[in-house]
Each structure stands twice: as C-alpha cells, then as structure tokens.
Chain A
Amino acid sequence: MDEFLLSASAFVVLMVAIGLVRVARGPGRAERMMAAQLLGTGAIGALLLFAVATGEAAVLDVALTLALLSAFASIAFVKFALRQDSAPDDAQDAA
C-alpha cells in the first residue's frame, strides 16, 4: 500500500510538472496562471499521498499551507493582470 501511494504521489507530480510546458509556451497570461494553479493542486495531491505513505502527519500541514497560499498567489496574479488590462481610472487611488 505504501509503495502504491508513493508511486501515485510521484505520478501526480510528474503529470503536473508536464503542465510546466504551458508556463513556458502559453501565449497569454491566463495560461501561465492556470499552469501555476495546476501545479499547486498537483503538489497538494502529491503531498497528501506522500503524507499517508510515510506516515508523517506534518506533511498534511504543508499541504494545508500550500492550499491557502497558492490561492493567495493566484489572486495576486489575477489582480495584477486585471489591473493592467482595465482602464486606468478603474479602481486605483491616484495618490
């Protein structure tokens, strides 16, 4: 069971790592944000599998932290992209 979980964890990491191609190639900003999001979720899934495989409960905390912080990072990206694209008077306080 533990070997299966470890291999599943490795498989998930490899899968989402292939999504890195989208970070490199993706023609727009949205693609790169999507690739970061996919990698975040894949890392969380792999960490959960790894936590159960090794019995190390602290890894669950890493997955929890990642869930919160990758949401925050994705929102920072989206906020940045939206600000760049919208009209200059949309929402920024000019001094």
Chain B
Amino acid sequence: MTTLVGAVIVALLLWLALWTVVARDAFVAVAGFVVYGLLLSLVWVRLAGIDVALTEAAIGGGLTGALLLGAVGRLRATEAATAAERAGPGLRVLAALLALAVTAALMLAVLSLPDPAPTLAPLVVPNLPATGVGNPITGVLLAFRALDTLLEAIVLVIGLIGVWSLAPDTAWGGRPGLRYRADPDGILAYLARVLPPIGIVVGLYLFWAGADHPGGKFQSATILAAMWMLVQMAGLGDTPRTDGGWLRLGLVIGPLVFVAVGAFGIPAAGAFLAYPETWAKPLILLIELALLPTLVLVLALLMNGPPRRHGGAR
C-alpha cells in the first residue's frame, strides 16, 4: 500500500517537474514550482528527514515562490521578447540530447553507489553527547562541521552584497523593493496583524527546539523572515533603509561572533572552532543566537532586492 502511494507521488513529482519546465506563462510555472516544493517536503517526511522537510516546506514552499514571483514581475517587460525567440530544431535536438546524457550519467552514478553507502553516522552518534545537543544534525552543523556553517553564513552575506550591488548609484543606501499598499481595514492588513506574532512565537520555538529535535536557526529564520515580508506586503511597514546602522550590524554580527568563537577555540582547545569541554553547548547557543538575526535579515533583504528608493544622504 505504501509503495503504491510512494510510486504515485514519485510519478506526480516527475510529471509536475516536467510540466513546470515547459509551462508557457511564468506565473503558472511558479505555481507549479511551489506545489512541487510542497510535495517534496512530504517525500522528505516519508524518508524520515524531518529537518530537511522543515527546510523544504519553509524555503521551497514559501520563500522561493515569493522570490520567483518578484523575478517574474521584473521580467514582464522582456517576457514578450524572449517568448518570441525560438531556437532552431537542430539546436533543440542538441539540447535534448545533452539533457538526456546528463540524466543518464546521473542515474548511472546513483545506481552504482556502494551499498551500504559510506557514512560517518556511526562516528557521530557516540560523540554527540560531548557537544551537549541531542539533534545530530545540529551537532554536525555547529560542532563537527562548524567551519562549513561559518563559510555558508559568510557566503550568504556576500550574496546579499552582490544583490545590493545591482542598485544604481543614486539609490545606494536606500530602501529596496516596492512600497506596497493595502486597504488598512482590509483582510490583508488584518492577517498581517494577527499572523506575525504567532509566526514569531513558532519561529522562536523552532529555534529553541533545534537543539534536541528537528528545527534550528535556519528554519526559524525562514519563518521570521516570511512574517516580516508579510508585514511589508500588507503595507504595514516599509522595507528598511539599507544603510541603517542596526541593519548592517545585524547582518555582520552572525559571522563575526562565529569567527570570534572560533578564534577563542585556538587558545582554549587547540584549534580554530574547537570547543573546550563543557563549554560546547553554551558556545553553540551563542553562535546560533548571533546567526539568527543575520539569517533573518539576509533572507528578507534577498527577497526585497537591490535598493531602489530614497537613496543617497538621509
């Protein structure tokens, strides 16, 4: 029974993915993509990857959809021109062959993986209690492979700076995105007043639960960023000025604290990002607390785009 359901869902996923790629209208394709993310998070739950399912539901089901919609809005002007371009049949056949070749190579690679797959999980499990956290994913992300997480956080900030660099000189430092307006007595405004407090509580709960259960700073930051975007979309608050002092402090505080803790590890435990005994849990908590505002700001600002209004001196 469950294999039948699984097979049906896989078939649906494949059909949906194909349909999303060939859809003509960009809005329709984004709707298909969001639905694809929802189905995929169900698949992750079925495969017992709850942390991944949380991230997929949050990012794939929500944030990426909104991000792509923003992109679709920007591309309206050129969409007619790109739709008019049609590649010749020879080029399309070549592209199809190339795609098929890559797919075949991937399938071969996956099917020829050693079984049982090589894994470090048996090493993680006995060493996990030393880190003080109960969730092995949190342990790997913030203790055993903390260097990867640090580099990812820095890359996120650099990515945001890259997005900001698309702003014209006159707009640098200004507010990104559009100023949404909605009827202040209407439904959207009501929802944007009621939902964010609940969302903030849920986000903070997920952050706290991430130590021992699926969750953690990234999923929590996604929920918090989505709630902030909701307030913006209802016109209850404008996007922030990108030259604000608190904003920029919040953006860098995550990586800074992370590097500071890592540097502290050199005299205290012998290596960069090593945690001394019994200090592991508080240090991990400190890093997570510092990374949370950074992630929230980066995610929300990435979705807003480059600064466009009120640039220059305040």
Q: Do A and B interact with each other, yes or no?
A: yes
* A→B interface (CB under 8 Å): 6-7, 10, 13-14, 17, 20, 23-24, 29, 32-33, 35-36, 39-40, 43, 46-47, 50, 56-59, 61-62, 64-66, 68-73, 75-77, 79-81, 83-84, 90-93, 95
Chain B residues, Cβ within 8 Å of A14: 5, 8
In the complex, B105 has a CB within 8 A of chain A? no
Q: How many interface residues does B have (CB within 8 Å)?
A: 62
A75 and B114 CA atoms in complex are apart in Å by 45
Please determine whether B41 and A76 come into contact, CB atoms closer than 8 angstroms: no
Whether A62 contacts B31 by the Cβ 8 Å rule is no
A selection of 20 A-B contacts at a CB cut-off of 8 Å is: A14-B5, A23-B31, A32-B28, A32-B32, A40-B38, A59-B45, A65-B58, A65-B206, A66-B57, A68-B195, A69-B57, A69-B61, A73-B34, A76-B66, A77-B31, A81-B27, A90-B181, A92-B179, A93-B178, A93-B309
> Are A59 and B31 in contact, with the CB atoms below 8 A?
no
Does B153 sit at the interface, judged by CB under 8 A? no
Task: Tell which of B30, B73, B209 touches A83, judged by Cβ atoms closer than 8 Å.
Answer: B73
CA gap between A43 and B155 in the complex, in Å = 33
Would you call B54 and A65 a contact (CB within 8 A)? yes
Residues 87-130 of B, flagged 1 when their CB comes within 8 A of A and 0 if not, give 00000000000000000000000000000000000000000000
CA–CA, A86 to B205, complex, Å?
39
Task: Classify the secondary structure of A's interface with B.
Answer: helix
B69 at interface, CB cutoff 8 A: yes
- Interfacial chain B residues near A92, Cβ < 8 Å: 178-180
**Contact (A58, B223) CB under 8 Å given A14-B8, A23-B31, A73-B66:** no
Q: Across the two chains, which residue of chain B brings its CB closest to A83?
A: B73
Q: Say yes or no: A40 contacts B42, CB within 8 Å.
A: no
Question: Which residues in B have their C-beta under 8 angstroms from that of A7?
Answer: 1
Q: How many A-B residue pairs have CB under 8 A?
A: 158
Known pairs A43-B42, A61-B206; A80 contacts B223 (CB<8 A): no
CB-contact partner of B50 in A40, A56, A69, under 8 A: A56
B308 at the interface (CB under 8 A from A): yes
B42 near A47: Cβ-Cβ < 8 Å: yes
Q: With A13-B42, A66-B61 as known contacts, state yes or no: A71 contacts B214, CB within 8 Å.
A: no
